[in-house]
Amino acid sequence: MKRFISGRTMHIIAACSLAFWTVCYLSCSTEATLMGASASPPVFLGCRTPAEEEVNFIFSRDVKVASMYFDPPMETEILGQGQTVIVRFDDSQLPGGSKVTADILVEDSRRNTLNVLVSFYTRNNRMPSLVINEIRTAYSRPRVEFIEIKALSAGNLGAMRLFAAYTGDEPIYIFPPIEVKRGEYIVVHTRSIEPGLIDETGTNLNLSRGTDSSPNGRDLWMPGSTKLHETNAIYIMDQDDKILDGVLIASANTRWRDSITAAAEEMVSQGIWTGSEPGDAVNTDGNTATRTINRIENRANSHSTADWYITVTSGATPGRFNNPNRYIR
């Protein structure tokens, strides 16, 4: 956090984080800027979206709203003020899980003011049931790493968060509002290194022209170049910090990073995985750009290594049913 102090005015630039408020990640992105505060302003603790047409902004003490703007513009009504400012908005034009930016000026009883600029995601109550289905952790240009997800029911992906704990405790990808069908494959590619890469967010699943784009699967491309490490805790969370699915993967004789340890323990506590030690993880030795880490499809999820295998050379199948032939070490 940086503070720039000039006379009686304090300007604070900060990122919304779990240290401020546990529920910040439930609906807020990490983009938050606090501006125009007086010498002793209230503190912004975060926000949450408990209902489809509601957002709550939480402060360290009672405040009243002096002004409030939303992008995209929406009709709003303030239902309550105090330590929590409760705002109802008209989301009839927004699908669940849409990103919204709020610009709010608040004032406390001593006329100390605080201007908060924060992004949040509208409530999505239609997230599908799903499983992580195939993973590539090896990079061999132009073949990039990916995480494939299979939808077990129809629904909306909006505001679901994808994590790879090796890189830390922040999501590597937040899904935009996308309607998916039961049985659909969604492939999140972690690098964008070619022309012709298109996020397939609508009904046409044959738009993207990148390597390993699937004509029938849904291709989504993360900007930049994110390494997907072969020792990892990969999982998907909803807006209430519930893990929808996850998998532990590890190369032989590895040790967990602290971030992976924390993620593994949380996965076990939520019943998503059966053990939190490296020995409880899917062994990734032998995986390559064409030998991916695969789930055994069409069988009950045991939340353990028994569900997974390394496919044969040239056996990667992003966006379609997994190749059942196994690599023998």
pLDDT of residue 239: 96
| Ranges 3-12, 36-45, 186-195, most confident | 186-195
With a pLDDT cut of 90, the percent of the chain lying above it is 85
More confident residue, 14 or 85: 85
- Quick check: 28 pLDDT over 70? no
Please compute the mean of the pLDDT values over residues 156-180 and round it to a whole number.
97
> How sure is the predictor about 196, in pLDDT bands with cuts at 50, 70 and 90?
very high
Query: Which H or E run includes 267?
Result: helix 258-269
Structure token pair of residue 13 = 């630039």
> Strand pairing partners for 4?
11
Work out whether strand 2-6 and strand 99-107 pair parallel, antiparallel, or are unpaired. Answer: unpaired
> How sure is the predictor about 26, in pLDDT bands with cuts at 50, 70 and 90?
very low
Burial annotation 283-307 (CB, 10 A radius, 16+ → b, else e)? bbeebbbbbbbbbbeeeeeebebeb
Query: Which H or E run includes 114?
Result: strand 113-121
Residue 215: exposed, middle, or buried by beta-carbon count in 10 A (0-12, 13-18, 19+)?
exposed
Largest Cα separation within the chain, whole Å, is: 71
Q: Kindly report, residue by residue over 93-151, the tens digit of the pLDDT.
A: 899 999 999 999 999 999 999 999 999 999 999 999 999 999 999 999 999 999 999 99
pLDDT of residue 92: 84
Alpha-carbon distance of 112 to 106, in angstroms, equals 8
More confident residue, 198 or 19: 198
Radius of gyration of the chain (CA): 22
More confident residue, 117 or 91: 117
Q: Which of 320, 255, 251, 254 is nearest to 288 (CA)?
A: 251
Please compute the mean of the pLDDT values over residues 167-195 and round it to a whole number.
97
pLDDT of residue 35: 59
- Quick check: 5 pLDDT over 50? no
pLDDT of residue 55: 97
Domains and CATH numbers, the chain: 2-121 (2.60.40.1220), 130-310 (2.60.40.1260)
pLDDT of residue 14: 32
